[in-house]
Amino acid sequence: GTGTPQNRVTESHIFNALAKNFGIRQWPVTAIKAFLGHSLACASGDQIIASLGVWHDGIIPGIKTTRAIAEDVHQSQLDFLLDHREINPSDMQAAFINSKGFGGNNATAAILSPFVTETMLTKRYGLAAMRTYKARQETVAAATKAYDAACIKGETQPIYRFGEAVVEGDALTMTPATISIPGQTHPISLTLNNPYEDMV
């Protein structure tokens, strides 16, 4: 969270109340911001990456920038991790990603674990389809591993595509009903139902 005197109270209250309502005890809470600082627009992406890392490595990173939690933080149902914690990744079925903005909580998204997701996909599509998927996934995993190794060794070059495939305004074709964009097969329809007709 933000860690500010006002928001630490409101944010912790929300999660503590949710945990109490659904019978969750000692809900682990961490703060990626403790490692990355205030990353602003990409903060939710940082949280998703960190959650994927927990599922991959089985370690929830602790909040290492403080020695204690402030007294006004709601925590009867929460477990603020001040140290790293090893877990069985399959025990963490979901992570909540918080997107905070000035003035309040913009959105919270539940990210299901790889284990839960795979179970759901297997139930819907069957074992044969999942075997095919996993076989295809091996190629992707190998390419990802090779790219990661190249990045660590400093062998990759930045991908810089500034100015490529830019569509200038005068390249658009507009009619009262459509907008056509060069390179796109279908025009954008402007014929939409107005949900506010009763208000105008």
Residue at token pair 């996993």: 134
Distances, alpha carbon 196 to alpha carbons 178, 193, 200, in Å: 21, 9, 7
Name the segment(s) of the chain with CATH classification 3.40.47.10. 5-112
Pairwise CA distance, residues 78 & 33, whole Å: 18
pLDDT band (50, 70, 90) for residue 37: confident
Pairwise CA distance, residues 98 & 105, whole Å: 7
**pLDDT confidence of residue 195:** 80
Pairwise CA distance, residues 12 & 4, whole Å: 11
Asked if 100 contacts 2 with a C-beta cutoff of 8 angstroms, the reply is: yes
CATH topology of domain 5-112: Peroxisomal Thiolase; Chain A, domain 1 (3.40.47)
**pLDDT confidence of residue 123:** 93
Instruction: Please give the structure tokens belonging to residue 171.
Output: 């390249």
pLDDT(5) > 70: yes
pLDDT band (50, 70, 90) for residue 147: very high
Bridge partners of residue 108, in order along the sequence = 98
The pTM assigned to this predicted structure is 0.68
Q: What is the pLDDT of residues 60-112, one digit of tens each?
A: 999 998 899 999 999 999 999 999 999 999 999 999 887 766 555 567 888 99
- Per the rule left: phi > 0, alpha: psi between -120 and 50, beta: everything else, 32 is alpha
